[in-house]
């Protein structure tokens, strides 16, 4: 029997690397996309440790030409793509007042348009076969507006909306859409995401609370291989769902925000004292940040 073919974008670290390796050890032919083949040594070493064979494709999801050429190469080599995991992405810290439109566009070009490029490259052959699965990795920040991360939040909310519409668009063709919504997962993205562009000085409190949230999250961060296993489940289960919250804080933050009124959400932002803010956060989400 021919192995199903999966493409995992952003396979060089974190959730992408773990997912590529997990799928490769569970019967998939896996093509992992990386921006530079020369920087994939850790990925290849980890794959070897797991006795997982990966095919690597140099691809920049921020470029129309790169995605078109890279995924055409995959389809030519493998003959098909059964599963696309849109994992590659970037962070983005800023409050709205001090975030230039160019930063919103840069983050959206990667986190939203990158996924769109890849989806458009693989869908025609999935639709012709009447089968396939698109997995979009969003974030808890796609369901609740994480503090002082306006460009990142905006991009992930957009990807949530794209995914919800896509699921209905593709249902007649037998193509499944799954949205993975991680909380804090062990990943290099957090080490890189340390900017605090507080030009006015008015938002010290916001950035302090942002970094306190991630400091707590990283101390309890979920192994990315757990997310890889969840993605495999979402692809293969006989009882699929559209959305899968996961990792530290995932379910708590999404469910807590759904229980809150908008008025309560806004009021939480008015607490000037950190202790009062952290107490309100704990009451709403069951997570102790203090």
Q: What is the CA radius of gyration of the chain?
A: 19
- Among 109, 108, 164, smallest CA distance to 136 is for 164
Strands (E), the chain: 5-8, 29-34, 54-58, 83-86, 132-137, 175-182, 243-246
Q: Cα(278)–Cα(213) distance, rounded to whole angstroms?
A: 10
Q: 219 — phi, psi (to 5°)?
A: -70, -20
Which are the catalytic amino acids? Answer: 152
Q: Return the number of other C-beta atoms located less than 10 Å from residue 106's C-beta.
A: 16
Q: Cα(53)–Cα(64) distance, rounded to whole angstroms?
A: 28
Let me know: does 56 contact 127? Beta carbons within 8 Å: no
Q: 31 — phi, psi (to 5°)?
A: -105, 115
Q: Helices 274-285 and 204-219: crossing angle, nearest 10°? A: 50
The DSSP output letter for 97 is: G
Q: HSE (CB half, 13 Å, CA atoms) of 236?
A: 12
């Amino acid at each position: 029997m021919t192995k199903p073919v999966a493409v995992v974008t952003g396979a060089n670290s974190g959730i992408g690397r773990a997912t590529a390796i997990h799928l490769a050890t569970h019967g998939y032919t896996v093509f992992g996309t990386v921006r530079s083949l020369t920087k994939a040594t850790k990925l290849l070493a980890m794959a070897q440790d797991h006795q997982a064979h990966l095919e690597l494709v140099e691809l920049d999801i921020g470029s129309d030409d790169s995605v078109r050429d890279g995924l055409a190469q995959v389809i030519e080599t493998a003959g098909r793509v059964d599963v696309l995991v849109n994992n590659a992405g970037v962070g983005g810290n800023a409050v709205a007042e001090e975030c230039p439109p160019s930063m919103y566009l840069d983050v959206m070009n990667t986190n939203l348009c990158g996924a769109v490029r890849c989806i458009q490259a693989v869908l025609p052959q999935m639709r012709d076969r009447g089968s396939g699965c698109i997995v979009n990795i969003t974030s808890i920040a796609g369901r609740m507006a994480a503090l002082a991360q306006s460009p990142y939040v905006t991009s992930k909310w957009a990807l949530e909306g794209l995914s919800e519409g896509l699921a209905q668009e593709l249902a007649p063709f037998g193509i499944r859409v799954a949205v993975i919504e991680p909380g804090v997962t062990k990943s290099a993205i957090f080490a890189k995401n340390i900017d605090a562009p507080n030009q006015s000085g008015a938002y010290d409190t916001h950035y302090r609370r942002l970094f306190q949230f991630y400091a707590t999250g990283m101390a309890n961060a979920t192994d990315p291989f757990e997310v890889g296993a969840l993605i495999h489940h979402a692809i293969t289960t006989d009882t699929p769902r559209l959305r899968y919250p996961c990792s530290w804080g995932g379910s708590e933050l999404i469910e807590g925000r759904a229980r809150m009124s908008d008025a309560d959400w806004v009021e939480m932002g008015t607490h000037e004292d950190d202790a009062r803010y952290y107490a309100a956060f704990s009451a709403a989400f069951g997570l102790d940040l203090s």
